[in-house]
A = this chain, B = another copy of it.
Amino acid sequence: MKKFLNDPANFVDEMLEGIYLAHLAVTYVGDDKRCLVTAKVKPGKVGIATGGGSGHLPLFLGYVGDGMLDGAAVGGVFQSPSAEQIYQVTKHIDQGAGVLYIYGNYSGDIINFEMAGELAAFDDIAVKHVVGNDDVASSIVGEEHKRRGVAGIFFIYKSAGAAAAEGLSLDEVTRIADKARSRTRTMGVALSSCVVPEIGHATFSIGEDEMEIGMGIHGEPGISRKKLAPADAVIDELMERIFAEQDYKKYDEVAVLVNGLGGTPMEELYILFRRVSQVLQQRNVTVKYVWIGEFATSMEMAGASISILHLDNELDRLVAAPARTPFFQHVAG
């Protein structure tokens, strides 16, 4: 196993120690480093909490900061955080305006966020849930509730975070998060496995000349495994599946996220974006915002995903708003 590690059992906690040493804008609740919160809770603002397994940096905790989220409960590698940890984050960030939970569609996360919401209800904290399910590959149209949440959750964070920063109510922030969710689609492709530190070997095997279309960020099976195709052909297939999902009209605007899964160089992500841009142009869809880099990874997995947010005027305003977290900065204008 080629990792910079001490005891694999301490992977998550040592990573968190590094994060707290590097970034004074975040801190933790009580003595549990896995309850990460912003160091400056904003009075009166709707709180936004997320959470999920480790191994996906900058997801999930990397988006806690101005204009994005207020807290993140941090699980073990690919494991849900506990309901108690989510509850502690919730209590800390609630400022009387309620808390929105935004998390991915995984059974462990759903159970624990629901339980945390029930605990918060005893404290009279209003809690709402929006569950990211952007991964087109994980079920057919009509069964979107079965789909996994992947990199597209970034757009939900960005939209809801900006709405909360504007001072909107919990109902409004929830409505906006849900709209961003319903208008975001992601398709991914994996070229290699990742290695969970405490396991020490590849999660799955894949041939030297193979790719898997639609693989999940924990190595969940995708739609098809086949011979690695040229970059443009890979993007054409991913974009075809994304376009089949939403009704795009001429001159509609989108935000694009080209996300590296961890092991894929930035150079290749730009080669992929080149084709994404060409495909959108062919369809007369305008790229208004682009982010290219690592936003939701699977440690050292080679691969990439394309997320498209279909903008409307409201989402346009919110995506454009400034944001500043330890892992993500967006300067407006």
Contacts and interface: CB of A to CB of B under 8 A. Distances in A.
Contact of A297 (B4, B231, B265, B304): B265
Interface stretch (A143-151, A154-162, A241-249, A272-280): A272-280
A234 B5 CA distance: 10
Contact of A4 (B6, B192, B268): B268
A15 B329 contact: no
A300 B3 contact: no
A197 to B, nearest CB: 9
B2 A266 contact: no
B4 A231 contact: yes
A31 interface: no
Which bracket fits the contact residues of A?
Answer: 35 or more
A11 B290 CA distance: 21
Contacts of A299: 265, 267
B331 A18 contact: no
A297 B293 CA distance: 13
Interface in A280-310: 287, 290, 292, 294, 297, 299-300, 302, 304
A14 B277 CA distance: 12
Contact of A268 (B5, B263, B267, B290): B5
A329 B329 CA distance: 7
21 contacts: A3-B265, A4-B268, A5-B230, A6-B271, A15-B267, A15-B268, A18-B272, A18-B292, A21-B287, A22-B290, A54-B267, A55-B265, A55-B267, A57-B266, A57-B267, A262-B263, A265-B299, A267-B299, A324-B331, A329-B329, A331-B331
Contacts of A232: 6
Closest 9 CB pairs of A and B: A18-B270, A18-B274, A57-B266, A4-B268, A329-B329, A265-B299, A4-B231, A18-B273, A21-B277
By DSSP majority rule, is chain A's interface helix, strand, loop, or mixed? mixed
Contacts of A124: none
A126 interface: no
B265 A57 contact: yes
Contact of A265 (B18, B192, B262, B270): B262
A191 interface: yes
A119 interface: no
A41 interface: no
A230 B6 contact: yes
Given A294-B266, A331-B329, A271 B230 contact: no
A40 to B, nearest CB: 13
A15 B231 contact: no
Given A5-B231, A6-B231, A18-B277, 18 more contacts: A2-B228, A4-B191, A4-B231, A4-B268, A4-B269, A6-B232, A14-B231, A14-B271, A15-B267, A18-B272, A18-B274, A18-B292, A19-B270, A21-B287, A23-B290, A57-B267, A263-B300, A265-B299
